[in-house]
Amino acid sequence: MLLQRIFASALLIVCACLAAMAWPYQAAFSYEPVGPRAFPLLMLGLMGLGLIYMIFRPTPVVHNEDDPQLDRETLIKIGLCVVLLLIFAGTFEPLGFVLSAMLVGIPMARLYGGRWLPSIVIISLMSVGLYLLFDKAMDVPLPLGLLEVLEN
């Protein structure tokens, strides 16, 4: 119980430091009504509330036999997910949202047991659909990258 509270306290301090770093941020341009700092501050605030609950929780978090074990296979999957997310972050600008989402989404679907054909079809449709939703419907510009030649 003490270790859980120490861990939650340390993460709460990290959240507070990150919020202090994000608070004064002002972008030279703003394409959203609330600006670019609202999302990180909201996420850090929600995370902070959860950590405060964990610090003052009267009983420890107990895992039962239904929870997945942190065996070698699970840790490898977690590591591969982190690597895929880093690849997504690195290819987001040069390849664009649609291609980088496909590049990362298909292996992610396969990692968690998806079959090839459904994974390719669903991830492709989701990538294009999310691009259209953000770029056209919500007016949040996403990079097209290599597919910029298809734009008007």
pLDDT, tens digit (0-9, with 9 covering 90-100), for 28-59: 665 556 667 778 888 999 999 999 998 998 88
| Listed residues 62, 94, 111: the one ending a domain | 62
Please list, in sequence order, all residues whose beta carbon lies within 8 angstroms of the beta carbon of residue 23, skipping any fewer than 6 positions away.
Answer: 37, 41
Range of 8's domain?
A: 1-62
- pLDDT tier at 142 (50, 70, 90 boundaries)? confident
**Same domain assignment for residues 53 and 73:** no
pLDDT tens sequence across 63-110: 788 877 778 988 899 999 999 999 999 998 899 999 999 999 999 999
> 120 with 76, same domain?
yes
The model carries a pTM of: 0.65
Residues 41 and 91 in one domain: no
Verify that 85 and 123 share a domain, yes or no.
yes
pLDDT higher at 118 or 144: 118
- Total structural domains in the chain? 2
- Among residues 62, 83, 115, the one where a domain terminates is 62
One domain, residues 79 and 5: no
**39 plus 7 within the same structural domain:** yes
72-107 burial code (b ≥16 CB/10 A, e <16): eeeeeeeeeeeebeeebeebbeebbbbbbbbbbbbb
Q: CA-to-CA distance for 32 and 134, rounded, in angstroms?
A: 12
- 148 and 104 in a single domain? The answer is yes
- pLDDT in the model for residue 47: 94
